[in-house]
Amino acid sequence: MASHGFKNFLLTIRKWIDRLGFDRVLLFVLGAAVLGLLALGMGKGLTGWDDSDARVTFFQIGTGSTGGTYFPMGEALAAVISRPPGSDPCIPGSRCGVPGLVAIAKGSAGSVANARAVADGRLDSALVQANVLADAFHGRGAFEGEEPRQNLRVIANLYIEAVHLVTARGLNIKGVQDLKGLRVSIGSEGSGTRADAIGILKAYGVSLTEIEPMSADASRSAEMILSGNLDAYFLVAGAPARSIEDLAVRGAIDIVPIEGEPADRLRIDRAFYSRFTVPENTYRFVGEVDTIGIGALWITRATTDEDLVHNVTRALFDERNRTTLVTAHANGRNVNVDNAVQGVPILLHPGAELFYFEKGILER
């Protein structure tokens, strides 16, 4: 029979599952924790392991919609930093996470909602666009009139996202200015896509009254394109984005460039924007597209335990975990310690900062 300590662990697992409501959590991570402990509990007489020493820390990662990049990347991050009791040893060719840590990827509305949730303590960490993070920290943009979230801190800059303007094929849309009079999804409430789409439309002289604006996430927007109920949608995501790939293989879409003088002004006014080119054949039947890029950051709170964040950052860049990151999504190969502190608009978390000093990325 399982010991009292193991029963308490199972009760903890049950409480967390009830709390999260199975909302896109990494059940395989939880399952691995339970099965590993069960196996060790049965064989502890042979191994000498005492389940009373099993201390488990849960760590949430807010992501985005399943049709974007944040969700699969969040799943990969959770996989590489998790190392529940009973996990395989850290050896070449395997994953090597933080001892006792069970990370959980949670779907969400996106960057704006994630910044609020982390700052308010409803998430332990999350993925957020660089410009959205800066706005949250200073109480501007989508956070105008709200208390600045100055307790937010950065773990790492992960990769550059592309601003996609996806249009139904055959509409002959050449630029943002051609969206007037059309049905356009500007992203769901609470998403970074929505904040960017509104700013981009304004830069090109297109007001929300001149389009038929709709609020839908990436997956829903793709469905509406296919059903003929939507003409275009914005999506900020690492390329390739899953929902756009599904449309592209059907020959159903074009991706419109976001370039020219308005784009140049945006990059000057908003320092976190950069030039970005989506290479030809990133999406089937779609040529090279010039657009705007923005950093995707992993954030937490200033009060998150320093040792925990230090260990999480070390696991993120552990070479034994790289295969998991690369196979999760094409942007996994762009997660690189040399770029981790570039384009960071606010303070690094002290635990992450210590790791970068140790690696020589930062100098004292």
Q: Is the pLDDT of residue 8 over 70?
A: no
Extract the tokens encoding 122.
Answer: 């409803």
* Residue 48 pLDDT: 31
Q: Residues near 133 by Cβ (< 8 Å), separated by ≥ 6? A: 111, 115, 152, 154, 297, 299, 345, 346
For 315, phi then psi, to 5°, come to -65, -40
HSE-up of 135 (CA within 13 Å, CB side)?
23
pLDDT digits over 318-342, tens only?
Answer: 999 999 898 888 889 999 999 999 9
What is the pLDDT of the chain when averaged over all its residues? 87
Q: Give the residue from 316, 296, 302, 317 showing the smallest Cα distance to 351.
A: 302
User: Which residue(s) pair with 105 in the sheet?
Assistant: 61
Extract the tokens encoding 181.
Answer: 């009079």
Is-contact 97 324, C-beta < 8 A?
no
* Residue 25 pLDDT: 41
pLDDT digits over 123-179, tens only?
Answer: 999 999 999 999 999 999 999 999 999 999 999 999 999 999 999 999 999 999 999
User: Which residue(s) pair with 128 in the sheet?
Assistant: 297
Measured distance CA(182)–CA(211) in Å, rounded: 5
Report CA torsion sign: 85, 86, 92, 93: negative
Measured distance CA(327)–CA(317) in Å, rounded: 15
HSE-up of 130 (CA within 13 Å, CB side)?
25
Q: Is the pLDDT of residue 32 over 50?
A: no
- Could you tell me whether strands 152-168 and 253-255 are parallel, antiparallel, or unpaired per DSSP bridges? antiparallel
Q: Is the pLDDT of residue 38 over 90?
A: no
* Residue 54 pLDDT: 61
Is-contact 185 212, C-beta < 8 A?
no
Q: Give the residue from 143, 78, 138 showing the smallest Cα distance to 113.
A: 143
Q: Where are the alpha helices (DSSP H) in 94-217?
A: 111-119, 130-138, 192-203
Domains and CATH numbers, the chain: 4-159+296-358 (3.40.190.10), 161-294 (3.40.190.10)
Measured distance CA(219)–CA(104) in Å, rounded: 22
Measured distance CA(305)–CA(312) in Å, rounded: 11
Is-contact 47 85, C-beta < 8 A?
no
Percent of the chain with pLDDT over 90: 75
């929300």: which residue's tokens?
Answer: 208
pLDDT digits over 223-269, tens only?
Answer: 999 999 999 999 999 999 999 999 999 999 999 999 999 999 999 98
Q: Is the pLDDT of residue 22 over 60?
A: no
- Average pLDDT estimate for 305-319: 97
* Total-model pTM: 0.80
Q: Is the pLDDT of residue 315 over 60?
A: yes
H/E stretch holding 289: strand 289-301
CA 216 to each of CA 190, 235, 329: distance values in angstroms, whole numbers, following the listed order: 11, 10, 23
* Residue 94 pLDDT: 72
Percent of the chain with pLDDT over 70: 85
* Residue 26 pLDDT: 44
Residue 171: count of CB within 10 angstroms of its CB: 15
Model confidence at 307, in pLDDT bands (50, 70, 90)? very high
